[in-house]
Structure 1
């Protein structure tokens, strides 16, 4: 069966623009890890489309060249695939559009519903949803609206992926008020993330990960992760993952939840309705192929229930 792994950046989504230094390393890591896992499953054949400016891969890839419409190429490949695994930034509705495109062409889609993606793609909507369910979330405000925040603050796109365009501002610095930006307090804590498998009747936290974040000239960037690097002996993080998924109907497959580990407990930063960079170390961390659910997904339309998994072991993933 043909499994089309469509990662937006590497698959030519920005063929008419310079390749982005911030998104390309993470996109490549996720794509290559998924391709390796799919290749290891008998009967599954990964399908690849690639920006022709990138180095050749070990797998055959349909190129997206200058002047090509990547969405037209992807649509054609989706129609010839049994399963589509879309990975895209939430920016400008790209992830939701990719999921709808794949579903419209009859393929099984490893992804969340458009409704869940629409809410999780907005930091404002995410914070509002979390608060409505009594879950710990970072206070989030439109940058254009006045707020009573004091101390250091963060600005970031309301719809954006990772730490792209995330900036730290000192207490006395004036904030930008651009439309589409949000502002949050800069909280003390340890950046982390949860890798979670969602199915209709079960939520399973696969790993809790330590994020390595650098600040240079006021800009944040993810430099790497320790997948499985955060202990959850008391089950508090697994319980948080279950509560977050319950608050966002329509989450499905493998997703990520960014959190901040503070002195008073974990605080949710954002919900990523797709696989995240932590997937690159997931197989090695849990000792099980995370894509092993694909045959049952193809047959039944939902990820299967998982057996007991060993405790995740720390695995380093370097991004840049």
Structure 2
């Protein structure tokens, strides 16, 4: 990192080869592509930063950066590792589901390159709905009580059941108390049970520095439709709940304190209820709320992450130059 130019490997799991042997899911692809494009745009707007982007061979190149192409039959992790060794640092984006993000971070850390991600201990807690709830509630935060499927849940008329390491609304079900007792999950793995909390779906985006200090960026509205037995996501409106900023600002630091090792961009999902916010989960990575965030704030969020976690590697341009 002593040269005038810094090379960052951006590896987004869905579009970067992690699903090279599988058909793309339309829902997963749209969000994944949006996050990758937003991050590449931010990074390439920085003076002296070049991007090498992991890219599924079925996709075309992305403007402004070089592609590291991965096709069916390629040794994905070996290609990713070689890409990391060609760069000065790595920025992984991936779901917690199945330990994907944890494995990506471990793979890149083994190359000796700095990885722009939280520490493994924080990733492990954030990957589990149950562990996250336990940690946040132990710290006195208003998190939804969560038990494992099969354990006695707190009294409620309706419950939300989801994979313990799930992402978004995928495989998330709404069940009555009688239904819950007889319910069989559609797939193996650990499942989390939470009382259905009334209120509006929301989130906040924050940065956590190398010193553990948190900065609230935006309060967002999650466009979630509640159907009879499940939820459907229709995206997020970044910054739509700006009036909640003063109330939620202390929560950002308390979440960071409760999960030592959080670093960089973090998204926190919650329900904005009549009695205040109820925290649902902590996402230790870029989320859909990152798309359009820099433009909404008028500053380069990726640049802020680099300036804090890799302070010697980048000279930021005037933030007004961000498109």
206, 218, 225: which one pairs with 1:214? 225
Separation of aligned partners in 2, 1:152 and 1:233: 27
Superposed, which structure 2 residues align to 1:63-212 within 5 Å? Answer: 63-173=69-179, 174-176=182-184, 179-199=189-209, 200-212=211-223
Separation of aligned partners in 2, 1:252 and 1:186: 30
Three-state SS of the structure 2 residue aligned to 1:160 is coil
**16-25 vs 264-273, which deviates more?**
16-25
The size of the alignment, in residue pairs, is 305
Superposed, which structure 2 residues align to 1:225-236 within 5 Å? Answer: 225-232=236-243, 235-236=246-247
Pairwise CA distance, 1:150: 3.0
Q: Please tell me whether residue 7 in structure 1 is matched to residue 17 in structure 2.
A: no
Three-state SS of the structure 2 residue aligned to 1:37 is helix
Three-state SS of the structure 2 residue aligned to 1:61 is strand
Separation of aligned partners in 1, 2:214 and 2:307: 19
> For each residue in 1:121-179, what CA deviation from the matched residue of structure 2 results, as whole angstroms up to 9, or x when unmatched?
10110011011111111111111223354312111110122222112224443433554
Q: Please tell me whether residue 298 in structure 1 is matched to residue 310 in structure 2.
A: yes
Separation of aligned partners in 1, 2:234 and 2:240: 15
Separation of aligned partners in 1, 2:276 and 2:88: 42
Separation of aligned partners in 2, 1:201 and 1:218: 39
Separation of aligned partners in 1, 2:245 and 2:46: 34
Kept in 2, the 8 Å contact 1:22–1:164? The answer is no
Three-state SS of the structure 2 residue aligned to 1:229 is coil
Separation of aligned partners in 2, 1:296 and 1:211: 28
Superposed, which structure 2 residues align to 1:231-242 within 5 Å? Answer: 231-232=242-243, 235-242=246-253
Q: Give the structure 2 partner of residue 258 of structure 1.
A: 269
Change (3 A) 1:125 1:265: same
**148-157 vs 253-262, which deviates more?**
148-157
Q: Give the structure 1 partner of residue 278 of structure 2.
A: 267
Separation of aligned partners in 2, 1:252 and 1:213: 27
> For each residue in 1:51-93, what CA deviation from the matched residue of structure 2 results, as whole angstroms up to 9, or x when unmatched?
1122443243122111112111111001111111111100121
Pairwise CA distance, 1:231: 2.5
Q: Give the structure 2 partner of residue 16 of structure 1.
A: 21
Show structure 1 runs of 4+ deviating over 6 A.
none
Pairwise CA distance, 1:207: 0.5
Q: TM-score, normalised by structure 1?
A: 0.89
Separation of aligned partners in 1, 2:203 and 2:244: 16
Kept in 2, the 8 Å contact 1:143–1:182? The answer is yes
Change (3 A) 1:186 1:226: same
Q: Give the structure 2 partner of residue 246 of structure 1.
A: 257
Aligned alpha-carbon RMSD (Å):
2.2
> For each residue in 1:243-274, what CA deviation from the matched residue of structure 2 results, as whole angstroms up to 9, or x when unmatched?
11100000000110111101111011000011
Separation of aligned partners in 2, 1:257 and 1:22: 20
Q: Give the structure 2 partner of residue 312 of structure 1.
A: none
**221-230 vs 247-256, which deviates more?**
221-230
Separation of aligned partners in 2, 1:274 and 1:188: 26
Q: Give the structure 2 partner of residue 47 of structure 1.
A: 52
Q: TM-score, normalised by structure 2?
A: 0.88
Separation of aligned partners in 2, 1:270 and 1:124: 9
